[in-house]
Amino acid sequence: MKKLFFLLTLISSFNIYAQDTGSIKGIITEVNGMPLSGATVYIKALDKGTVTDFDGNYIIENIAPGTYDVSVSYLGYETSIQSVTVTAGSATTLNTSIKESDTVLNQVIITANKQPQKITDVPATVNVISARDIEEFSSFNIGELASRQKGVDFVRSGVLGTGINIRGFNSAFNSKNLQVTDDRLSTLIATGLPMGSFSTVTKDDIARVEILLGPNGTLYGPNAHNGLVSTITKNPRRSEGTTFAVGAGNQNVITARLRHAQVIDEKFAYKFHFERSQGTEFNYVDSVYVGTNAYKELDLDRDFDSQKYGASLFYKPTSSSEISGYYGHSNNNNIGITSAGRNQIKDWSIDVAQLKYVSKHFFANTYYTWSKTDKTYAMNQRTQNYVSFIENGFSEEEARERSFTEQWFQTGANQGEGIALQRGALFKDDSQRFNAEAQYNNNWGNFYATVGAQYQLDMADSKGTYLLDEDGIDLDQTGIYTQLEYKMEDSGWGFLFGGRVDNHELYGSNFIPKVAITKKMNNGTFRVTYGKGIAVPSILNLKGNLFGGLVLGNGEGFTLTDGTKIQKLDVETINSYEIGYKGQLSDKLFIDANAYYNQSDNFISPLRNVADAANGNFVTHVGDKPIGDVVPGSDGSFVLTYLNFGHVDTYGLDIGLNYYFNNNLRTSFNYSYFDRDLDKNDLDNDGNLDGQVLESELPINTPNHKFSLGFHYNKGKFYGAIYGRYVQKYDFFSGINVAAETQDQDGDGVNEIVENAQVGRTWNYGQLGGFTVDANAGYNFSDSLSLGLNITNLFNAEVREFVASPVIETLVSFELKYKINFFKNKAPENN
């Protein structure tokens, strides 16, 4: 009887408490009526909130009576704030539809802090390529959209090839900014290069791309030291339906894509995608020099193709957590540009398997990457090998066959007297990588904390073709990090501190800090930040062995004939100081501006020749071993390798302006300035090792000035944009590749670099850069059917954007897309 009395008393007290409070409930959808799962509903005054479930439903209970501002936010959508009155003992219904962000200040991003955050609150410069930008860009190669972003050094190397760099030190083998896709590295294992066209995701499955300028190593680790590019794909719960797309253009371009996403029930959802693209590169041949004689690249194949497919399964164990599994595959045939000449990429495949868990406070991620090719080869070296056999009387058939692995050196006066040395042009790759990460995040009032750990194991295996790896090369690294943030909402001040310790198998521990102070002012946010970044040399930097020792990694250091010691590669560091403002200058004008100052030490150079055969100064030792023991047959007369330069300061500014004439017409203007201050007293900056430091020896490879102006129009069923882009002419040096004006590099009165002439082992067409205009337009015949047009280099300006690349001629592409949206047939619940 006493137990019954106690139970009744307890129930009664709960009822009384419930009658003293109220609740808010409802459903959150996008403007088309599709429920948004995972949207955040938050009452700032109470520091209380929740996230929506599978059907977009939410409820916040135990709210004291009163009137509150309730905010609704979701990644890539505008934040909605509405006033709601709560009465005791009842539930107030608030149903809200939010739309994709149309303005630069209303966007919610995720990459900067690995948590959803309004872009104005982010203590960094962030560019966003939105779902709408991607949807309205009628080309299979969305890499071109990076050309419309501020602070980004964008290049086109052909029909297929696009690449980006951020804030200096570009090269034809550029790994200076980190690229990730859905929280996994999108970089090749042995080289550290961005995957680019090797990516396993397709255009129609990309929700957005976020580009962060400056160091972001605290949360993302080494090699995010001057920028980060994050690609985020669509969740099937918010993108149900089927998309068919076909495209065509000049240069024989044809593409076909399929994406399907479906929700099975409140627990399970899935998606899959497929793409097949092909075309022909511009009619350009990179000259291969044997002495002063130029030869065409042997067996040049300008046709390219790629095939991609992947699938994901999503499972929600609770309304606020999700487990997802992904597998993706790509296979590629194309031409790749490197600092040692162009590569003919043959059947290079990438496979990725990922398992990820996400909840309100916990994040866990693990994935495995495979890289495989058996037929890729370096065209420059293979052509030289072929010529050596032909000129010594070998048959065409034998010369072609042996050109993949050997070069003939004539030793006697008669043709055919000589020896074949290993000068392998063939690249094989059977590398693998394992990654894992765990993270916890939470907030207590205005204090936010994130802690996490990452592990990476690289297992490189070139089958002895381009690495010193008889038994493979395994390297691991571990990182632990924390980020603490305090927001003083009343005054608008915000303070952030982040720290990371990375332990590398070869380089020990490195500490990466980040500090930021932000201040909200009127309609914008002012910020001051400091960040450090590091770049760990790639396996290729350390253990490369290409073309029989003509290119060697610098993991051990070198000794020259005269006793000169060249130190082994060390970790590259950058300390970056930045001020910025992001805000609204008027009802229609928005600005995002920054100025930065970087201090770089030990930055890793492009390939440099460290031997001076003309003066008898050869490479005699690699580390403690004679070079002949490391690379049989090598005499050390010509060795390209990677060096650490000394200290250099770089600085610049980026300005982005967006003006909204009306709801249909917007213009955007971007301007970037970049320059450097070279320490000429630091002999580590002596690129050619002649005892003096010259301005021309520092391979910045970045223009001083660049700007773009664009107009965007969207009304009814029509959309379109036109963009003009100017890149000031600039010199570019990377390995054997030269694109520069005529100049005297060592001050001896003789021009070593001559425009439109042979320079070393290549032809110099002169500086890169110029002015181009791009345009795209489209028409939505219905909600399901659309037709788009994209034109690159609208006026066919004669502009060369990259070394060992053709002039980019006009490219025209059409795309027809048909979509079946399942959610339109579902009536959202309103409970």
Which residues have CB under 8 Å from 457's CB, separation 6+? 433, 434, 435, 474, 475, 476
Q: Do 759 and 741 contact (CB within 8 A), yes or no?
A: no
Identify the H or E element spanning 384.
helix 379-390
Q: What is the DSSP letter of 605?
A: P
Predicted pLDDT at 15: 47
Q: Do 768 and 737 contact (CB within 8 A), yes or no?
A: no
Predicted pLDDT at 286: 92
Which residues have CB under 8 Å from 586's CB, separation 6+? none
Adjacent-strand bridge partners of 576: 531, 598
Give the C-alpha separation, 59 to 43, whole Å. 12
Which two tokens mark 168?
């200096």
- DSSP letter string, 395-450: -HHHHHHHTTTEEEEE-SSSTT-EEEEE---EEEEEEEEEEEEEEEEEEETTEEEE
Our separate counts of H helices and E strands in the chain read 7, 55
CATH superfamily of 20-99: Carboxypeptidase-like, regulatory domain (2.60.40.1120)
Identify the H or E element spanning 388.
helix 379-390
Classify strands 96-98 and 22-30 as parallel, antiparallel or unpaired.
parallel
Predicted pLDDT at 478: 96
Burial class (CB in 10 A: 0-12, 13-18, 19+), 438: middle
Give the C-alpha separation, 597 to 110, whole Å. 26
Q: Do 611 and 558 contact (CB within 8 A), yes or no?
A: no
Give the C-alpha separation, 654 to 124, whole Å. 12
Predicted pLDDT at 109: 52
Residue boundaries of the structural domains of the chain: 20-99, 117-536+571-607+642-688+699-739+748-825
Stretches in the chain below the pLDDT threshold 50: 2-3, 5-18, 824-831
Q: Do 46 and 71 contact (CB within 8 A), yes or no?
A: no
Q: What CATH number belongs to 117-536+571-607+642-688+699-739+748-825?
A: 2.40.170.20
CA distances from 57 to 35, 47, 630, 738, 826 (A): 8, 20, 66, 60, 15
Predicted pLDDT at 452: 93
Give the C-alpha separation, 343 to 26, whole Å. 57
Q: What is the CA radius of gyration of the chain?
A: 29
Which two tokens mark 427?
């690249």
Adjacent-strand bridge partners of 444: 447
Q: Do 28 and 36 contact (CB within 8 A), yes or no?
A: yes
Roughly how many angstroms between the first and final C-alpha of the chain, as a whole number?
39
Give SS3 for 44: helix
Sign of CA dihedral 689, 692, 698, 703: negative
Predicted pLDDT at 831: 31
The alpha carbon of residue 748 and the mean position of all alpha carbons in its chain are separated, in whole angstroms, by 41
User: What distance separates the 2 farthest-apart alpha carbons in the chain?
Assistant: 117
Adjacent-strand bridge partners of 739: 732
Q: Do 602 and 220 contact (CB within 8 A), yes or no?
A: no
Give the C-alpha separation, 576 to 570, whole Å. 19
Predicted pLDDT at 110: 58
- The single-letter code of the amino acid at 585 is L
Give the C-alpha separation, 198 to 371, whole Å. 10
Which residues have CB under 8 Å from 565's CB, separation 6+? 557, 558, 559
Which two tokens mark 652?
């610049």
Minimal CA–CA distance to 768: which of 809, 805, 813? 805
Which two tokens mark 226?
């001057």
